[in-house]
Amino acid sequence: MAAPSVSPQSVLERVRKERVRFVNLQFTDVLGVVKSVTIPAAQLEDCLTHGKWFDGSSIEGFARIAESDMYLMPDLSTFAVIPWEKGENTTARVICDVFTPDGQPFEGDPRRVLARNLEELAKLGWGLHTGPELEFFLLQRDEKGVELPLPHDRGGYFDLSTDLAMNVRKEMVNALEEVGIEVETSHHEVAIGQHEIDFQYDDAFKTADNCVTFKYTLKAIALLHDLHATFMPKPIFGINGSGMHTHLSLYDLKTGDNLFVDSADEYGLSTLARQFIAGLLAHARGMCALLAPLVNSYKRLVPGYEAPVYISWARVNRSALIRVPQISPGRPDSTRIELRCPDASCNPYLAFSVMLAAGLDGIKNELSPPPPVEENLYHFDEFQRAQRNVGTLPAFLGEALDELERDHVIRQALGDHVYDRFLEAKRAEWNEYRLQISQWELDRYLPIF
């Protein structure tokens, strides 16, 4: 997937020109955690030819000890000098693909999972555009550097005078642009201490790489200000959580035309777009464990905090799972749909893969979505929801994992290796959580029983 215009010679010349001392060879595990092998810049030329070997048995979801040898091969289109690590030890990073000893792409590499799904889409002559909106909190840290669940400010949506992090966000934007991410907007979000920075809508593969880079860039800049940037879905009780609303559309690989556009339709959507929506709705419960993968994710997906709970679609209704954003006059090519249940704790490579698989299943089976629901679903009772054929998302991680096990389309999108390792890791996480005794339980029950 590397851009052909990026040659090894141009990268090596940049390393010399900018006096890069170290290079981080970056990849992610199945859960989306960033991993890195650091090499001296003098080793980069050999790495570009032969790769860099590492032990995969210690990486979550990668391999057993008996099959641990793997190597990293840099994707030079992702090479960037890290702006906050310049100076005597100037460091660059490059995102890598993972290969097995026989030179085959490793099927447990999340980046490979997305590449494989996009390759299948390309056989139809189509590509996928995605635009994730990653919300995050800036929290205070104590004198020992421990993160505190205390917001950095008391601001609200689009606030100015109470937004203490305006200059911090500007530094974040500068850093993102230096590593090649084109930022469109930044602003304070609804909750105290909550923020959002949006970057350009683009091809899903590039956007997934950008998601990974975005998160650790923001954490690094926050730390320079003695703050902690967290993408935890619900870090603070009683206020809005953080999501990763994701905008989606298909486009023609030859012409670049947006395949979701139909100006004659009431919602401006083509038949293809409506079928894609139907597929997302049909597989919403099955893919939820990938899109909202933490125990904590389901404390965000509750009524009353602008997060979706009900499986429906609409245009203006922000309680719906899928929304059709208004399009600026004269810009039909920006037609898209917005899936509102993901949060930024997900692995973006896997998240985009299952979104694509769900939507394509709707297209392949010519599914039709139910009528849109524009009323506030939080005001519906159970009978009204049943009348309108409105289901609900899983209420907790264990339920989401059960739904994942039932969904063969989502399993196929992940591939058996990733499916098995992801399910194993998340089952362990859920079972460990179930056995914990929380402070809430102690405070509520210990004085009484």
Q: What tens digit of pLDDT does each residue of 17-37 get? A: 999 999 999 999 999 999 999
The one catalytic residue among 75, 97, 109, 133: 133
pLDDT computed for residue 161 by the predictor: 61
Q: Are residues 223 and 101 in the same domain?
A: no
pLDDT at res. 69: 82
Active site residue 411: no
- Predicted confidence (pLDDT) at residue 286 exceeds the cutoff of 80: yes
List, for residues 412-440, the tens digit of each pLDDT value: 999 999 999 999 999 999 999 999 999 99
> How distant is the alpha carbon of residue 191 from its chain centre?
21
Assess whether 169 and 45 both reside in one domain: no
Torsion from C-alpha of 104, 413, 409, 373, nearest 10 degrees: -170
Same domain for 149 and 296, yes or no, is yes
Q: What is the CATH number of the domain that holds 393?
A: 3.30.590.10
Confidence band of 61 (pLDDT split at 50, 70, 90): low
Last residue of a domain, one of 75, 106, 137: 106
Check 196, 209, 361, 403 and give the catalytic one: 196
When mean pLDDT is compared across 60-74, 117-131, 299-313, 322-336, the lowest value belongs to 60-74
In a domain, 124, yes or no: yes
DSSP tag of 369: P
Given 48, 74, 106, the domain boundary residue is 106
The band of 315, judged by pLDDT with boundaries at 50, 70 and 90, is confident
Percentage above 90 pLDDT, the chain: 74
pLDDT at residue 306 in the model: 79
Distance CA 315, CA 68 (A): 49
Contact assessment for residue 189 and residue 135, using Cβ atoms and an 8 Å cutoff? yes
- Residue 441 is among the residues annotated as catalytic for this protein: no
| Predicted confidence (pLDDT) at residue 402 exceeds the cutoff of 90 | yes
Helix (H) or strand (E) holding 187: strand 183-188
Q: Please check whether residue 3 lies inside any domain of the structure.
A: no
Same domain, 101 and 238: no
Residue type, 358: A
pLDDT at 233: 96
User: Is there a domain that residue 326 lies in?
Assistant: yes
**Same domain membership, residue 189 and residue 57:** no
Instruction: From 88, 106, 124, give the residue that closes a domain.
Output: 106
Share of the chain above pLDDT 70, in %: 94
State the pLDDT at residue 162: 67
Instruction: Return the pLDDT at 3.
Output: 46
User: Same structural domain for residues 102 and 122?
Assistant: no
Indicate if 149 and 89 belong to the same structural domain. Answer: no
Higher pLDDT, 303 or 284: 284
Q: Are 82 and 36 in contact (CB under 8 A)?
A: no
Domain count, the chain: 2
Average confidence (pLDDT) over 189-206:
92
Q: Does residue 291 form part of some domain?
A: yes
- Which listed residue (29, 75, 135, 403) is catalytic? 135
Q: What pLDDT was estimated at residue 199? A: 93
In this structure, the answer to whether residues 41 and 154 fall within a common structural domain is no
Across the range 203-222, mean pLDDT stands at 96
State mean pLDDT over 344-366.
Answer: 97
The one-letter code for the residue type at 4 is P
| Amino acid symbol at 232 | M
> What residues have CB less than 8 Å from 295, skipping those under 6 apart?
396, 397, 429, 430, 433
* pLDDT of residue 108 exceeding 50: yes
pLDDT class of 86 with cuts at 50, 70, 90: very high
Q: What is the mean pLDDT of the chain?
A: 90
Q: What average pLDDT does the segment 57-75 reach?
A: 70
pLDDT at 146: 67
What's the pLDDT at 420?
Answer: 94
Report whether 282 contacts 337 (CB < 8 A): no
Instruction: Please say if 318 is a catalytic residue.
Output: yes
Catalytic-residue membership of 361: no
Q: Which of 353, 328, 319, 335 is nearest to 274 (CA)?
A: 335
Residue 140 domain-assigned (yes or no): yes
- Confirm if 337 and 277 have CB atoms less than 8 A apart: yes
Judge whether residue 222 has pLDDT over 70: yes
The answer to whether position 408 is within a domain reads yes
Considering the candidates 336, 340, 411, 417, report the single residue annotated as catalytic: 340
Q: Which of 338, 343, 361, 403 is catalytic?
A: 338
Among residues 116, 225, 315, 318, the one annotated as catalytic is 318
Known catalytic residue at 189: yes
Residues 188 and 319 reside in one and the same domain:
yes
Active-site entry in 46, 55, 119, 441? 55
Domain membership of residue 99 (yes or no) is: yes
- Residue 49 neighbours by CB distance under 10 Å: 8
Categorize the per-residue pLDDT at 1 as very low, low, confident or very high, splitting at 50, 70 and 90.
very low
Exactly one of 29, 75, 153, 189 is catalytic; which is it? 189
In this structure, are 160 and 236 located in the same domain? yes
Residue 15: domain span: 8-106
Higher pLDDT, residue 325 or 91: 91
Does residue 63 have a pLDDT over 80? Answer: no
pLDDT tens-place string over residues 257-276: 999 999 889 889 999 999 99
Q: Residue 54: which CATH number? A: 3.10.20.70
Do 134 and 254 fall into the same domain?
Answer: yes
**Do 304 and 415 sit in the same domain of this protein?**
yes
Cβ contact 287:400 at 8 Å: no
The answer to the question of residue 2 being in a domain is: no
